[in-house]
Amino acid sequence: MTRIVIFGGHGKVALLLAPLLSARGDEVTAVIRNPDHADDVRATGAQPVVFDIEHEDQAAIAELLAGHDAVVWSAGAGGGDAARTRAVDHDAAVRSMDAATDAGVRRYVMVSYFGASPDHGIPADNPFHTYAEAKAAADEHLRSSGLDWTILGPSSLTLGEATGRIDVAADESGEVSRADVAQVIAETLRQDSTVGRTIRFNTGDQPIADALRA
């Protein structure tokens, strides 16, 4: 049994991921901000924990993480307000990484996006720019953290059914279902060969487990 914390526990991907993890015997803690979402989380087999990741400090996050084996960051501000985007997608994410180190939780899986990079190329006057900057900087912090990290870069997300197949070789972003992203996260946590890798992917023809081993 692996004890896993999911930040952003009521997100669309997280609600698809938690049942996969619970079904295979993992113990899942889903971190949520809104207590009204607790029943939705329990229905997935996860244990909801109400916690304001945007405002809690590193010590509080470390206390939350203590005793777990892995972290999945699937939280996000959801766009819109630039200050909140920086606060959640960069500042809180970085605090969670440093808190994982403090708590002795080595495994950390970041759900980023396909184009995340310091050279993302998003113009400063584009509303997406703040998010692109925040994710690029957070990903860089994770790479230098000393944790057993994996950064996942799914392409444009859809609400389609799971196919169980992806493409990790494409040079350009396409699309992929959230259900397949959930399967990729679950398999990433199972495969030690994914540690220290940034894996960008679209939907494709290769079974997920094989694609991640490639």
Q: What confidence category does residue 11 fall into, taking pLDDT thresholds of 50, 70 and 90? A: very high
Cα–Cα distance, 209 to 166 (Å, whole number): 9
pLDDT at 51: 98
Q: Residue 78 pLDDT > 90, yes or no?
A: no
In this predicted model, what pLDDT tens digit does every residue of 86-142 receive, in sequence order? 999 999 999 999 999 999 999 999 999 999 998 888 988 888 899 999 999 999 999
pTM: 0.96
Cα dihedral 159→161→167→172 (10° resolution): -20
Contact between 33 and 51 under an 8 Å Cβ cutoff? The reply is: yes
Beta partners for residue 49, in sequence order: 31
| CB-based contacts of 210, cutoff 8 Å, min separation 6 | none
Q: What confidence category does residue 196 fall into, taking pLDDT thresholds of 50, 70 and 90? A: very high
Does residue 114 sit in helix, strand or coil?
coil
Mean pLDDT, residues 130-158: 97
**Residue 119 identity:** D
Instruction: Fill in the DSSP letter of residue 80.
Output: S
Residue 54: alpha-carbon gap to chain centroid:
16
Provide the residue ranges of all domains of the chain, joining segments of one domain with +.
Answer: 3-213
Mean pLDDT, residues 174-198: 98
Percent over 90 (pLDDT), the chain: 91
Cα dihedral 15→21→27→33 (10° resolution): -20
In this structure, what token pair is assigned to residue 104? 């002795």
pLDDT at 151: 98
**Average pLDDT of the residues of the chain:** 96
Which helix (H) or strand (E) segment is 49 a member of?
Answer: strand 47-50
pLDDT at 109: 98
Q: Residue 79 pLDDT > 80, yes or no?
A: no
Does residue 182 sit in helix, strand or coil?
helix
Q: What is the fold, at CATH topology level, of the domain defined by 3-213? A: Rossmann fold (3.40.50)
User: What Å distances lie between residue 200 and 94, 97, 110, CA to CA?
Assistant: 21, 21, 12
| CB-based contacts of 61, cutoff 8 Å, min separation 6 | 53, 95, 96, 99
Cα–Cα distance, 159 to 94 (Å, whole number): 29
| CB-based contacts of 153, cutoff 8 Å, min separation 6 | 112, 113, 114, 115, 116, 198, 199, 200, 201
Cα–Cα distance, 28 to 47 (Å, whole number): 6
pLDDT at 121: 83
pLDDT at 126: 83
